[in-house]
Each structure stands twice: as structure tokens, then as C-alpha cells.
Amino acid sequence: MAEGPALPPVVARMWGRDPVSRHGPRPSLSLEGITAAAIGIADAEGLAGVRMSSVARSMGVATMSLYRYVGSKEELLVAMADAAAPDPPEPEGTGWRDHLTVWTRAHRDFLLDRPWLLHITRFAPPMGPRSLLWLDRGLAALDGTGLGAGERMNVVSTLTGYAVSHAGLALGAGGPEPPGEEEAAGLAEYGAILTEVLDPETYPALAAAVGEDAFGDGDEWIDDGDFGFGLGLLLDGVEALIAARRTARS
């Protein structure tokens, strides 16, 4: 078990791999504490409230002290994104489909709880303990289905993407906006704006959909039913795949 590839510093600390030092004063802070403080601020004021200075103030230390624990604000955001995830739901003995349904919905739900999570652009693959716990539980749901490792990974990635997209849509259409913006309006107003602006010649299908009141009363487009709807589509696909693997294997 060679010392493998060097972990990115924050990642190392997220996993508790602090370099233990023998000299000097004991550290009075911790990465967990700092991320917790930052998360508290983000919950209360949104991401815009998270400044190195505000986080430090909320912990009663000087701004620069934080830099003993994080290399940059960017790193702090990464740590926040990981730490902010709750425990993933545990399977209840039901089948893979129910489990993944619950899992995906729980995923979306905690994104809705902390809208600022969506604003932390994390295109790097997840490496924190809590993100990976979610990944693990998602994969676990597919144990015994006969899917290969790559396929399971694919399915779970797709479901994660689905949860993220839907959370984003739902927030864009009514949730609180982080930059304190004037709230771009609900869906009804959205439809109204569209009708004002759309030329049915160039946007025939869209104009028709708006005409059919595709998002009329504000609940018809992005509500929980719609979430289940799309999720159902996906899981139907997975189900077909599993069936195909079963017959191919028999």
C-alpha cells in the first residue's frame, strides 16, 4: 500500500489526514469547524454571505487564520459541498427500484434545502467522505441486479444528474435566489413573458405548448409529480436493462 498519488490537500483534510505536528501550539480550529461555520452562514444568508472575513468573524478569529486549514476560498467551498450532504437514506428491504426512488428524491430534497449547493460548481468528481457515501448507497441499491460495475456507475451518475437538474429547475422557478435578486418571477409570469415574446412562426412547438397552458397555474410544470414522472422514465429504462442482462445471462 504505497503512499499512492498525493491527495489534494483539502481532500486529505476532509478525510482527517491532518499532519500531526509536535511543535508549537495545538491548533485551535479544525476544518470541520470552519466548514460548519461557513455552512451556517450559507444557510442563513446565502453563498454571497460566505466571505473569508465573515467565516472567520463567526469563529472569533482573524481572517487569515483560516488559511492554515484551507488553501483558498475555493477549497473551502469544496469542503462545504461535501459536508453539507445529510446521511443518505438506508434501504428498507425493498427492491432496487424503490430504494433508488427514495435515494434520488432524498438527493433532490437536500439540494432544495440548501439552494446554495447548486451554486458551488463542482465538476470535479466527488471525493469527500459524504459525497462518496451517497454514491456508495446508490450503487448498493443495484447489488444483485446483474449489472456490471460500469453500468451501475452510469445509472447512479445519471440519477444524480437528474436530481441536480430538477432541483435547479425547481429553484429557478420559485425558490429563493442567492444573489438577492428580485426573484425572476413564478412560472405563471414566465408563461406570460413567453407569450409576449414568442413568434409562433419561429417557435411553433413552444408557442403551442404555451397555448396549451403547459405551465399555467405554476404547479403544472415543476412539481413533485413531475419529478416522479421523469424519474419513472429513467427507472423504466433501468428496469429494461436489467431484464435484458438477466435473459442474456440465463
Partner DNA sequence: ATGTACTCTGTACGTCGTACAGTGTATTAA
Partner DNA sequence: TTAATACACTGTACGACGTACAGAGTACAT
Please state the closest distance from residue 61 (CB atom) to its own copies, in A: 26
Contact (Cβ atoms closer than 8 angstroms) between residue 115 and residue 44: no
Q: How far is CA 59 from CA 46, 63, 83, 104, 212, in A?
A: 18, 10, 18, 35, 54
**According to CB under 7 A, which residues from 27 to 46 bind DNA?**
27-29
Please state the closest distance from residue 24 (CB atom) to its own copies, in A: 28
**According to CB under 8 A, which residues from 149 to 188 bind its own copies?**
149-155, 157-158, 160-162, 164-166, 168-169, 171-173, 177, 179, 184-185, 187
- Which of its own copies, DNA, none does residue 247 bind to, with CB < 5 to 8 Å depending on kind? none
User: Site for DNA (CB under 7 A): which residue of 65, 135, 186, 241?
Assistant: 65
Instruction: Check residue 143 for interaction with its own copies (CB under 8 A).
Output: yes
- Which of its own copies, DNA, none does residue 102 bind to, with CB < 5 to 8 Å depending on kind? none
**According to CB under 7 A, which residues from 179 to 238 bind DNA?**
none
Binding site for DNA (CB under 7 A): 19, 21-29, 48, 50-53, 61-65, 67-68, 72-74
